[in-house]
Amino acid sequence: MDKRPIAETLRRAWCLDLRSLALFRIGLALVVLGDLAARAQGEDLKAFYTDAGVLPRNALTARFAWPELWSFHLVSGTSAGQDWLFAIAAILAFLLLIGFHTRAATIAGWLMLLSLQARDPLILHGADVLLRLLFFWAIFLPLGKRYSVDSWGLKDDLGSEDELTVAPFWPSLTFAAQIAFVFLFTFLMKSGPEWRDGSAVSYALGLEQMGMPLGQWLRDFPALLRLITFGVLAVELAVPFLLFLPWKNGRLRTIGALAILAIQIGFGFTLRVGHFPFVTGIAAIALLPSSFWDRRSAPERITETGFPRLMSAFVAALLVYVLLWNVSTLGRGVRMPDRVQSLGRGLRLDQYWDMFSPSPVIPDGWYVMVGTQRNGGRVDAWRGRPFQESLWSYPGWRGLHDQYPTERWAVYLMDFHTDEGLGQRIQFGEYLCRRWNAGRSKDDPSMLMRIEIYFMQRQNVLDRRPDQPIVKKLVHQQQCGPR
């Protein structure tokens, strides 16, 4: 059987299965819908995407945007305008879900996702980067050949027993390579001493803002955490090989995909990583080989769905581009010229897999936001409640976790107290003032006049005692403006 030429062997090993891709399509649509719903919950839509929020369009375009940033969401600064755009994105995701005009829906959905992400770059994390990349590579894949309206009534071209239709080669390879890059480059970036001495996972779990019950419970077993540290490294290194070794008729790839799923489920239960496990999970589904679905012997012939040769060359070129981009993020001498980077920043192929790397030691703590009213009274400006002295004392990991109402707020405020958050502070302060003062008349004694934002930083993230040393840091103070 292995007497076939190399190209045929690689095709068999790497071309993606149409059923896996169809499930991936459904998963992708559900993740996008979930993401939209999560972003729109509560006050978040107003807070993050309108001119009344923490990042008005003028602040974004003046201070946070890189030149290539583009976003349809800048079309309007009102909640009504954003509602429309969210609704359009949701409709497109629904079309993707049912596989109606799949390719057009994929392209349009991808554009809407890029646009949404560009509207507020301050609340993005790794999952968003991976999501937009999967979406982009999915444009080139036949997502709608199974389980879709598009394929409805079409004759099943699975063919006879000994023939199998699969996705075209280059898009398949590129898609899998993108996922391999995530694991490979995050492995290569984990150069801090904590990853060498095995304490990394302890530090990561010590970041109580991102705590989850299982993860916090695991902190009692340092020896196990050492083991997990090395286990994570091993899996991250192994995944690229499992995905691409062309032997064993897909069994290695199945193991690779399941390993990805397992490690992501592990992350999902121990750390607050938002929709990362879901995004990686659907990627793993797409990688499941044909042999996973039918336990029959290898088909005699495989045929690829149609794909123009010119597009293959284009996708291959982009693969090289993304590989170079990732290599350049390692900072080992390879640098891309600015011109060339423009393409990546315009299509949002830019990526940087630095989760918990080089070192997992991230400052942890909680915010206290004191608002002073016209009549001298104090309020908890963050939660919009009367101030309580107990806010100053360590509330346990649960309290740290609960200080953020949603994942997006966690991302927004995580770096707020560091130098990286410098540019955000005035707009955030204005947002707090505006939110409290909305509907209050000018000389209302309860008007908020000034706010002070403190970060209560834990000195040692491994310390779990209630009386552990805390440093009180004044991050920002400002007067509330006329509006």
Partner 1 sequence: MTPPGCAVSQPEPAPPPAAPRSATFQFLEDNFGLDLRSLAFFRVALALIVIGDLIYRARDLEAFYTDFGLLPRYTLIGQFADRWIISVHNMSGLWQVQALLFLIAGIFAVMMLLGWRTRLATFLCWFMVLSLDNRNPVILQGGDTLFRMLLFWAMFLPLGAYYSVDAALDPEPVRPRPQRIFSVASLALMLQIAFVYWFSVIAKSGPEWRHDGTAVYFALSLEQFATPFGHWMTRFPGFLRFLTFFTLVVEALGPVFLFIPGFKGAFRMLGVMFLIGLQLGFASMLWVGHFPFIGTAMMLAMIPSWFWDTALFTNTRRDARKQARTALKIYYDGDCSFCKKFVLILRELLVMPEVAAVPAQSVAAVQQQMTAENSWVVIDAEGKSHFRFDALSLLHKHSPIFLYRWRGHLIGWLPLQRRLDRLYYWVERNRPRLSRATAFLSYRKMHERTSALNQTVALFFLAYVFWWNLGNVNEKYVMPVEYHWIGIATRVDQIWDMFSPGPLRDDGWYVIPAQLKNGKEIDLWRNGAPVSWDRPSAAAVAGQYRDERWRKYMNNLYFDIYAPYRLHFGRYLCRYWNRDKSPNDPDSVQRFRIEFMMRSNLGPGVSSTPRRVTLHEHQCYD
Nearest to 37 by CA among 115, 89, 110, 78: 89
Residue 340 as a binder of partner 1 (CB under 8 A): the answer is no
Contact between 82 and 446 (Cβ < 8 Å): no
Diameter over CA atoms, the chain = 87
Give the residue, chosen from 5, 67, 306, 386, that forms a contact with partner 1 under the rule CB under 8 A. Answer: 67
Nearest to 417 by CA among 348, 351, 474: 474
The count of residues interacting with partner 1 (CB under 8 A) is: 21
Residue among 84 and 241 whose Cβ is closer to partner 1: 84
Contact between 46 and 52 (Cβ < 8 Å): yes
Residue among 119 and 146 whose Cβ is closer to partner 1: 119
Q: Closest distance between partner 1 and the C-beta of residue 129, in Å?
A: 20
Residue 343 as a binder of partner 1 (CB under 8 A): the answer is no
Residue 100 as a binder of partner 1 (CB under 8 A): the answer is no
Give the residue, chosen from 11, 12, 39, 57, that forms a contact with partner 1 under the rule CB under 8 A. Answer: 57
Give the residue, chosen from 41, 58, 388, 393, that forms a contact with partner 1 under the rule CB under 8 A. Answer: 58
Per DSSP, helices labelled H in 245-330 are 251-270, 276-287, 290-293, 309-329
Residue 56 as a binder of partner 1 (CB under 8 A): the answer is yes
Span from 73-81, 86-94, 248-256, 355-363 in contact with partner 1 (CB under 8 A): 73-81
Residue 254 as a binder of partner 1 (CB under 8 A): the answer is no
Residue 108 as a binder of partner 1 (CB under 8 A): the answer is no
Question: Residue 240 corresponds to which tokens in the numbers above?
Answer: 């690229």
Residue 45 as a binder of partner 1 (CB under 8 A): the answer is no
Q: Closest distance between partner 1 and the C-beta of residue 56, in Å?
A: 7
Question: Residue 275 corresponds to which tokens in the numbers above?
Answer: 């929709």
Query: How do strand 301-304 and strand 163-166 relate by DSSP bridges?
Result: parallel
Residue among 20 and 427 whose Cβ is closer to partner 1: 427
Residue among 74 and 302 whose Cβ is closer to partner 1: 74
Query: How do strand 448-458 and strand 365-373 relate by DSSP bridges?
Result: antiparallel
Residue 76 as a binder of partner 1 (CB under 8 A): the answer is yes
Residue 75 as a binder of partner 1 (CB under 8 A): the answer is yes
Residue 78 as a binder of partner 1 (CB under 8 A): the answer is yes
Q: Closest distance between partner 1 and the C-beta of residue 346, in Å?
A: 9
Residue among 115 and 172 whose Cβ is closer to partner 1: 115
Q: Which residues fall within 8 angstroms of residue 160, CB to CB, at 6 or more apart?
A: none
Give the residue, chosen from 102, 115, 178, 186, that forms a contact with partner 1 under the rule CB under 8 A. Answer: 115
Amino acid at 281: G
Q: Closest distance between partner 1 and the C-beta of residue 58, in Å?
A: 3
Please provide the DSSP assignment of 119-166 as one string.
H-GGG--HHHHHHHHHHHHHTTS-TTSSSSSTTTTS--TT-STTEEEE
Residue 77 as a binder of partner 1 (CB under 8 A): the answer is yes
Rg for the chain (alpha carbons), in Å?
25
Residue 62 as a binder of partner 1 (CB under 8 A): the answer is yes
Q: Closest distance between partner 1 and the C-beta of residue 116, in Å?
A: 12
Cα–Cα distances in Å, from 423 out to 53, 370, 412, 420, 481? 15, 20, 12, 7, 18
Distance CA 55, CA 90 (A): 23
Span from 75-83, 301-309, 382-390, 466-474 in contact with partner 1 (CB under 8 A): 75-83
Residue 81 as a binder of partner 1 (CB under 8 A): the answer is yes
Residue 61 as a binder of partner 1 (CB under 8 A): the answer is yes
Residue 334 as a binder of partner 1 (CB under 8 A): the answer is no
Span from 54-62, 89-97, 359-367, 373-381 in contact with partner 1 (CB under 8 A): 54-62
3-state secondary structure of 474: strand
Q: Closest distance between partner 1 and the C-beta of residue 347, in Å?
A: 13
Distance CA 97, CA 208 (A): 36
Residue 427 as a binder of partner 1 (CB under 8 A): the answer is no
Residue 341 as a binder of partner 1 (CB under 8 A): the answer is no
Please provide the DSSP assignment of 23-69 as one string.
HHHHHHHHHHHHHHHHHHSTTHHHHHHSTTSSS-HHHIIIII--TT-
Amino acid at 166: V
3-state secondary structure of 468: coil
Which residues of the chain form contacts with partner 1 (CB under 8 A)?
Answer: 51, 56-59, 61-62, 65, 67-72, 74-78, 81, 115
